[in-house]
Amino acid sequence: METYFESIKNKESSLPEQAADQISKLIIQNHLTGENKLPSEFELAELLNVGRGTIREAVKLLVARNVLEIRRGKGTYLAPNPGEVPDPLGFAYYPDQMRLAMDLVEIRSQLEPWVARMAAEHATAENIKILRECCSKVEQDILNKRDHSQNDVQFHVAIAECTQNLVVPKLIPIITYSITLFVSLTESRLRTETIVGHRELLEAISDGDGLRAEKSMIQHIEYNKALLQEITRREGEK
């Protein structure tokens, strides 16, 4: 079965590109995990009936795409989150970063309150423990005047993990891309609100109170949105 993603790829693909596809299929069909070593270059060349140079290039392609990783002195293995790449939608190349931030916060407003409610309803004790740690890390960053954006994203990912949905935690780093951009633009006002807002979220989720978690998230994102609108307006006036 050809998937949508396969069909949008360039049809006139090069030999290494074709070999990379075949290696991917091999991995999927054989349910390879990070524990299993990939067959050697020699074996792959035999198996796919192509030259070793082609295999070498194909492996490079798959490493570039984070499907494979080369462990020095050990061999080639499946990467930890195969196929996941940093900035998967190429946001860094968007010309209008402010508009991107606004469009992302619109999506966050729609998705994250639901995520918070699901989190409160499905979190395990282990999830809550991790969430609490993430919350502390953000507070420590803020109190020590360090950039808290990475730990802020991780806090929202930790909430997403409470839902037990496989995909939600993967979407959070995409839709919270604007946090990094945002943190550098905003002042201490938001930092205080972040501490209070995150604590409210943490407590609602650990109490298993879905409605309160949802409301806290709405408030948290609305605050961010209002501030972002203010910045956009100010930038426009310059």
Q: How far is the CB of 205 from a second copy (least distance, A)?
A: 18
Q: Which of 138, 139, 129 is CA-nearest to residue 161?
A: 129
Q: Which is nearer to a second copy, 46 or 52 (CB)?
A: 52
Shortest Å distance, C-beta 225 to a second copy: 14
CA distances from 37 to 49, 76, 94 (A): 20, 6, 38
Residue placing its CB nearer to a second copy in the complex, 12 or 237 = 12
Host H or E run for residue 236 = helix 210-237
Nearer to a second copy by C-beta: 118 or 201?
118
Choice between 46 and 75, CB closer to a second copy: 75
Least CB distance from residue 216 to a second copy, whole Å? 18
Enumerate residues 6+ apart whose C-beta is below 8 A from 174: 88, 89
Q: Which is nearer to a second copy, 94 or 223 (CB)?
A: 94
| Contact between 153 and 106 (Cβ < 8 Å) | no
Considering the complex, state which of residue 82 and residue 210 has its C-beta at the smaller distance from a second copy. Answer: 82
CA 202, CA 200: separation in Å to the nearest integer? Answer: 5
The least CB distance from residue 84 to a second copy, in Å, is 5
Which chain residues interact with a second copy by CB under 8 A?
Answer: 1-9, 24, 27-28, 31, 60-61, 64-67, 78, 81-95, 99-100, 103-104, 106-107, 110-111, 114, 149-150, 153, 165-168, 170-171, 173-177, 179-181, 184
Calculate the CA dihedral of residues 80, 84, 75, 9 and round it to 10 degrees. Answer: 150
Question: What residues are paired with 76 via a beta bridge?
Answer: 70
Rounded Cα gap, residues 34 and 83, in angstroms: 13
Nearest CB to a second copy, comparing residues 64 and 196: 64
Question: What is the gyration radius of the CA atoms in the chain, in angstroms?
Answer: 22
Q: Is 132 helix (H, G, I), strand (E, B) or coil?
A: helix
Can you tell me which residue has the tokens 């979407």? 171
Q: What is the closest distance, in whole angstroms, from the C-beta atom of residue 132 to a second copy in the complex?
A: 21
Query: In this structure, how many other beta carbons lie within 10 angstroms of the beta carbon of residue 96?
Result: 9
Q: Closest approach of Cβ 189 to a second copy, in Å? A: 20
Place of tokens 């995520």: 115
